[in-house]
Each structure stands twice: as structure tokens, then as C-alpha cells.
Structure 1
Amino acid sequence: MIRWGYAINQFKPQFDDFVRRRQHQRALRIISASGFSGVELNAGTGRWEPLGNPQQIAANFESVAGFGAFVREAALDGVSSWFWDPSIRFQEDLTHGDDPTNPGARDGLVAHARWFSAALAELGGEVLVVRPAPSAANLAEVTDEVIDALAASWTAVADAIAADGVRLALHFDFYSALRRDDGLERLLRATDARVGLALDTAEFTIAGIDPIAFYREHADRVTHVHLKNAGAIDDIDEFGMPAPEFTLLRAGGSRAVPRWFTELATEPLLIDAPGFVAALVEHGYDGWVVVESDLTPHPPTSAMLNGWEVQHVLAPLTRPAP
């Protein structure tokens, strides 16, 4: 069964925004009113990220369970998933990020993954979505040794979080080092079904990969979906720019792309959302489809536009014919 969720990340464009409970309540109600049943959280650290990790959630909502009740009060079923970039430095335990390419950092990687998966289990969530590799700017070559290390790290994480009933999904982004040397395909071949894939339609399209064709080839590995439209394609290979989160993603690279990610029905329609959802149905996909509108200048508008498209165009494709 396909369930529809929405990512909370769009509501926090700057680090000091989206910190008050009334802002969280408003965002969750907008997501619910737009027709979605779950919310995906985004990992972060410190007091400016009250929804960023289990410790901050407990500090702001008395407990993780208290936050779960807060989500349900907004007429959502609960938390679907949590996105975590392991390079985050956590103030909560004074750690400096976990490098999945470094076998010596694996214990810390697994410990942080369990921190999130235990909270996810309490919140009714099912998937820990992770950034599997550093940016291309920070990893010049994807060697066999790198692939072996990544495979071992993420397999260890998948095995660990399975104890909480949580699945792992690797999230490939368009400035990932895995764009080099056929890295994504090699990593999938080096792992098994325990290590799932979160297929992000816009990230794949921007990277020059057809998400529908890729899904059909790897349907057995896709355990999570991020669905959004793309505003442009990185066809001049700027994915290796330094600090891509700022120079490329936010500033748009040399072409100053105004928005890499757009609403599902916004021109140009670089993503065939109905075609992609039809492929999910064709292959019996069972899981969350989380709609995103990262870095939108108008989060409520984007959520409602995407919600209309889901309710009236996409969700009907998943229902049996009368």
C-alpha cells in the first residue's frame, strides 16, 4: 500500500527559523489539511533544531511520546521517517560527524543510527533515510575500497536498526560523490536487500538519471520515495563544486538556477509524476511516498499545491479500478 507523507524540511529555510511550537503546529496542520497522513523529520543539532533529534524533541515536548501526541493532534497518523546526514556534528554528545567511508568511525555511525531508530519506533516511524556518501567535492575518487567501506558501514547500520523494526534507505543526491565512477550502482551491487534505497525523483533527474527507468530496474531495492519536480538538470556537471549545499543548491551554481526543486505540476515538468506513480503501482510498491518542496519560498503554498496534485491526480492512480 502506498502512503503519502510530507517532508518538514521545507519549513526551515534558515537555521534560526521554525523553532517555536506554534510554528510546528501550523506546519503539521498545513501538511494534514493538504491531504497527507505522515511527516518526515529532518535531523539536526542544538536548540535551533527542536525537531532535529530525540534529545531536542524530548526537551521541547517533555518526551518523544509527547511529540508523537503533538503530531497526532494535527490529524496526522504520525512520523513516517527521519532523514539523517551522518556528517552532522552533534552538540548533544560533542561528536564531529560520522564518516561512513571510515571503518574506524563505524561504531559511532551505528550508535547514532540507533539513537534515531529507537525514537522512530516510538513515533510509529518505519524508515531511517540516510545520506550514504560525502559530497563529490569532498571525495575525489570512488575507489573499490570506498565502496567496500560504505557497504560494510550501511549494512552494519541496517542490521542494527532492524532491532527497532526500522528499515534503512540510502538517499542519493545530485551532488553526491556516488555520481562518479558509477558509484551508486556499485554500492547497490555491494549490498543486499537489507540496505534499501530512497529514490528521490528530482535528485535523480537533476543528476541525469531517469527515475522511472531506474525504479523499474531496481524496484526490489526501493524502500522509500521522495517525490518532487525538478527545475533544471545539472547537464554541465557542476556537482563537484566546493560547498555544494551553498554554491550549487542554494545559489544555483554558475547559471544561478533559481530553484532546483519545484512543485509536482509546475512547469517545466521534468518529472513525470503520474508515470512514476504508475510504475510504483505496477511493481507493487509498499511504503511511504514523501512529497518534498525543499527551499521553497512559500512553504504553505507549495504544500497545498502538491496536496491537490496528490489527491486529485496521483492518489487515484493507486486505487483499484471500480
Structure 2
Amino acid sequence: MERRIKWSYMDHWRSDGPAGPIDQWHSVKTMSRFLKQIKATGFDAIDTFDFRIGQIFGDYGSPAKYQEMVQDHGLERIVNTFHAADYDVRNYAPHVPETHATILEDFRVTLGLWSSIQLDNIIVMPATLYYDMEPVTEDKLKHAAELWNKVGAITAAAGVRLTCHHEFFCGIQSEADIETFYSYTDPRYVHLFVDTAQHCIAGVDPVALYRRHADRVSGFHFKDTRNIATGDDHRHRPDSEIMAPTTGKWFYEMGTDQGLVDFEAMMTAVRDHEYRGWISVEHDKANKEGGDYSESTAVARWYAANVLERIYS
């Protein structure tokens, strides 16, 4: 029978090397070990980051050649790439119309670089960091929406969906601002990528958000958190996930004790709305406070197979 849900792994990773922690991109050998572990735990594919594109060309020759290596390790393909742009209000800021020409050209170049494989989504944070956008006004949200409508038309012409991922430190992170933003975007071109932990940290119920916008959701990051941001947690330079003084570790794997995300309700909503396709599991900074990427990945995959897949079977 056709599987309604398949599982992709977002390639955050660290492991211990002779000189300290290394990531899987350290060498072809470490990449091979990483892919073997991802396949062994039962994942079907991987997601990656757009900033890896230079290394992909340098180490493997092209995205297609790198994907061949992924497939040689038993995984299907690369599903999504996260376009982690260097937001700067001087030249790359969705709420600043004067920067839109630069951003549009960036995406034309990006799509060309990835053109040797077929991606499902290119994922973006749809705003600068919160402290560079505040105060968040309706006009700024309109400007951002206008930009992403144009970017989405460019990606759609290449057969790739443009989808928005709202970090808790993103300029568009509150429930009210998210709703306003999507009211100005074209559902043909701008999709929503639900990150269960990031929304929860920002005080937004990811299940309710998904149910409201299920028709334009094109993917998920499934991960958990034990904390909701308070005070100025979302305003710390240069990275609130590291610098916020209230919380040492924001992200945990599905199945963690004291997790705040109701994954069973989330999967029930996914089933009810008949979502079919990929769900990505993400372990951002899993090695903080004694954590371990390989352990988190195994625990999350067990939870997906033994809890979530039984809900949507």
C-alpha cells in the first residue's frame, strides 16, 4: 500500500572527533557514517541547508552527484532545502522594499544552483530577526508578503514550492502577525512550513495553526520544546536560541519528558486534513546540555514509528 507519510531528517548533526565535535560535512567519510545512521533508524530521505551548496559543488560536483551518494546509502532523495539567508536591513530585508530586487535575484541564482535535482520546498524565514523589524506594523507585513508572492512565483515556475518557517525570534512570529501576513500572501505561491517547537516557544499553538491553514501547509519540522519564551527572549543578538538568558536548551526530540508539543493531537490533525507527503524531523542544537544527536534521532524515530504512525495508518 502507498505510504501516506514519509519521514525526512533535517541534517543538523554533530559527533565527537579526535579534535572535538565535527559535523557530517567534515569529509566524505563522516557524511557516509551520518547517512548510514539516518537510514538505519528508519528515515526515508534528508533535508539540507542552502548554505551547503558551495561545499556540495566542491566535495561532490553538483547537487545531483551528492544526491546519488544519498541514494547509494538507501535514502530516497533530498526533499527540501532551507534558505538560511543573512538578513541585513541594508540589503536583504523582506519588510524593506528597497532590498527586494536583491532578494529576487538571489532566488533566481539559488534555483539555478539546485536545478540538477527536484526539490519539493525551498524553506525561508519570511522576515528579518525580530529586533531588526520591530515595531512590526501592517505595512511591513504587507511589504514582506509582496516580496514572497514574487519569490513564490519564481520558485513555482521551477516546480519548487516557496514555504515560510516562523522562528520564535523571527519578525513574524506572533499569532496576530502570522495571520495578517498570510492574509496578504497568495496561496498559490506562498506556503506554510509548520515548526512545532518554534511556534510553541512563541506562544502559538501549532496544532490550531495547522488546522487553520492546512490547505497551504507544505511541510513540517517535528521537534519538541520544554519552554515558552518570556520577556525579551526573542530579542537577543546575535542569536536568541543561544543568547536568551532564561533557557539553556530550547529544542528536544519527540518523546522527550516534559515536552510541550502535543504530537498526538498534531498527527491527528494531519490525518484529519488528509495531508500526504513528507514530515521532517529536526534536532537543532541537540547536543547542548549533555544531549546527543544520534540518541535524539533514534528516540524520535521510535516515537514516529510506534506512536504517530499508529494514529495515521
TM-score, with length taken from structure 2: 0.88
Would you say the 8 A contact 2:174–2:202 is kept in 1?
A: no
Deviates more, 1:116-125 or 1:160-169: 116-125
Amino acid at match of 1:232: N
| 1:295 Cα deviation after fit | 0.3
Query: 1:15 Cα shift?
Result: 10
Match of residue 212 from structure 1: 207
1:139-183 Cα offsets, whole Å, 9 max, x none, are 221223211211111111110011221001100001112136932
Contact 2:14 2:22 in 1 (8 A): no
Partner of residue 231, structure 2: 236
The answer as to whether partners of 1:65 and 1:123 remain within 8 angstroms in 2 is yes
**Structure 1 unpaired stretches of 5+:** 45-51, 90-95
Computed over aligned residues only, the root mean square deviation of the Cα atoms, in angstroms, reads 2.3
| Residue 213 of structure 1: how far off its partner (Å) | 1.1
Q: Is the 8 A contact 1:87 1:98 kept in 2?
A: yes
Contact 1:212-1:279 within 8 A present in 2 as well: yes
2:11 aligned with 1:8: yes
CA 1:27–1:74: 2 relative to 1, 3 Å? same
Between the aligned partners of 1:15 and 1:86, the Cα distance in structure 2 is 25
Q: Is the 8 A contact 2:118 2:160 kept in 1?
A: no
Which residue pairs with 2:255 in the alignment? Answer: 265
The answer on whether the counterparts of 1:128 and 1:167 sit within 8 Å (CA) in structure 2 is yes
What letter matches 2:41 in structure 1?
A: S
SS of the residue corresponding to residue 220 of structure 1 reads helix
Bigger drift between 163-172 and 10-19 goes to 10-19
Is 1:27 the equivalent of 2:34?
A: yes
Q: CA deviation at 1:286?
A: 2.6
Structure 1 partner of 2:241: 249
Q: What's the CA shift for 1:287? A: 2.9
The residue type equivalent to 1:272 in the other structure is D
- Tell me the equivalent position of 1:129: 123
Identity score, percent:
26
Q: Is the 8 A contact 1:116 1:128 kept in 2?
A: no
Shift of the alpha carbon at 1:124? 3.1
Residue by residue over 1:72-107, the C-alpha shift from the partner in whole angstroms, topping out at 9 and shown as x without a partner, is 011110001001122269xxxxxx963222323223
Which position in structure 2 is the counterpart of 1:280?
Answer: 270
User: Aligned equivalents of 2:282 and 2:91: distance in 1?
Assistant: 25
Partner of 1:92: none
TM-score scaled by length of structure 1: 0.86
What residue ranges of structure 2 are gaps of 5+ in the alignment? none
Amino acid at match of 1:43: D
| One-letter amino acid matched to 1:108 | T
